[in-house]
Structure 1
Amino acid sequence: MTRTWASCRPSPERGFTLLELLLVLALAATAATLVLPSAFSALRAAEERKLLVEVESLLTRLPTEAAMRREPSQWQALALMARVPDWPSSWQLRLESPLAVDARGMSGGGRVQLWHGERLAQEWELRAGDGRPLRVKPSETDAP
């Protein structure tokens, strides 16, 4: 008697064997170990880009806000961080001196650094006068 394809198929009552289930679990675990690290890395990179954009936007708005209120303002790092929604706890903003903007929106200039742990992620130099933030390439030798 020859076997046909229909007779080789498992019956619906039989289900999967333990070996088949273990093989599927092993393949799923292997796929997860390959995909998850890159997915988490992409999430961290997106968080960093979002924070860079938010800080740069905030630095750009400071002179305009002072001019609209027609009163001078001075900013410390903690006050600036408080203005960014959901500031991540592992990130820190550092200023060489408080940022000062007069009532006309004119800035005294300065430097702003964004740190992630012990790594300098970005540095801005604020132009004296209009206060526009210019990105400075972070140096590998910068220390906290």
Structure 2
Amino acid sequence: MPISVTCPGSERQSGFTLLELVVVLALVAALGAIVLPSLLKMQEAWRRHVDLQDIASQLRSLGYRTRLQARETIIGADGALPADMLSLPAGWTLSARQPLVYLANGACLGGEVSLQHEDVVQVMQLMAPLCQPELP
């Protein structure tokens, strides 16, 4: 009958060494440092796009809401008057060089509006009589 003799400590144990774990963590950290700024820029661009869609949606319905309230709405250099007709997301400003008028019957006389958020400026051309904005 064969007898097997093993020396203590000669058995190979499975698992990872501390050095292997440190190398993997260093690689993950380096990869995260490279990718994270791009993800933050992408998130900000997406938030800006969603905000633009929200503003465009409000502009699309502005003629209808003006007609329902039977009062004239004017978008000028200082934004929309009356101010409760448009609810802009935080940090956004809306202006028009030439006043853009929505008559009390809901018709729009047409014009150009400028939306600004930090360093981004978006210009929308609104054509009479419906003034439906188009996003690029």
User: What TM-score range do you get, normalising by the shorter chain?
Assistant: 0.7 to 0.9
Deviation at 1:80, TM superposition (A): 7.4
Q: Which amino acid aligns with 1:45?
A: A
Equivalent residues, number: 126
The structure number with the bigger radius of gyration is 2
Which amino acid in the other structure matches residue 130 of structure 2?
Answer: D
Q: Does residue 99 of the first structure (1) align with residue 100 of the second (2)?
A: yes
In the alignment, the residues of structure 2 paired with residue 125 and residue 10 of structure 1 have an alpha-carbon distance, to the nearest angstrom, of 68
State the one-letter code of the partner of 1:83: S
Alpha-carbon distance between aligned partners in 2 of 1:33 and 1:54, rounded to the nearest angstrom: 33
Structure 1: distance between partners of 2:58 and 2:68: 15
Aligned Cα root-mean-square deviation (Å): 3.1
Match of 1:8 in 2: 12
Q: Structure 1, residues 41-94: CA drift from partner, whole Å, max 9, x if none?
A: 22012111101101111111111111122222224426379613xx232x4333
Q: Which moved more, 1:22-31 or 1:44-53?
A: 22-31
**1:60-139 alignment, distance < 5 Å:** 60-75=60-75, 76-77=78-79, 79=83, 83-84=87-88, 87-89=89-91, 91-120=92-121, 122-135=122-135
What is the percent sequence identity of the aligned residues?
28
Letter in 2 for 1:104: N
One-letter amino acid of the counterpart of residue 24, structure 1:
V
CA contact (8 A) 1:81 1:93 kept: no
Task: Indicate if the aligned counterparts of 2:62 and 2:85 stay in contact, CA closer than 8 A.
Answer: no
SS at match of 1:92: strand
Structure 1 residues 13-55: Cα deviation after superposition (integer angstroms, max 9, x where no partner)? xx853x3343232112112123212211220121111011011
Q: Is the 8 A contact 1:77 1:98 kept in 2?
A: no
| Map 1:16-27 → 2, pairs under 5 A | 16-17=17-18, 19-27=19-27
The letter for the 1-side match of 2:90 is P
TM-score of the superposed pair, with normalisation by structure 1: 0.69
Q: Where does structure 1 lack aligned partners over 5 or more consecutive residues?
A: 138-144
